[in-house]
A = this chain, B = another copy of it.
Amino acid sequence: MVQLLIGVLMSNSPRIRSAQLTDLDGIVALIQALAEYEKLRDQVTGDPEKLGLHLFGDRPFASALVAEVDQTLVGYALYFFNYSTFKMQPGLYLEDLFVLPEHRRSGIGSALIKAVAKEAVAKGCVRYEWTVLDWNQPAIEFYQKMGAEVLPDWRVCRVTGEALRRLGGG
Contact = CB atoms under 8 A, between A and B. Distances in A.
Interface of A: 31, 34-35, 40, 43-48, 50-51, 54, 61-62, 78, 80-90, 93, 95-96, 113-114, 117-122, 125-135, 140, 143, 146-160, 163-170
Contact of A148 (B78, B82, B126, B157): B157
Nearest to A64: B85
Nearest to A127: B160
Nearest to A95: B83
B86 A35 contact: yes
A114 B166 CA distance: 9
Contacts of A143: 157
Contact of A96 (B81, B85, B133): B85
A156 B128 contact: no
B54 A88 contact: yes
B168 A121 contact: yes
Highest count of chain B CB atoms <10 Å: which of A82, A85, A160: A85
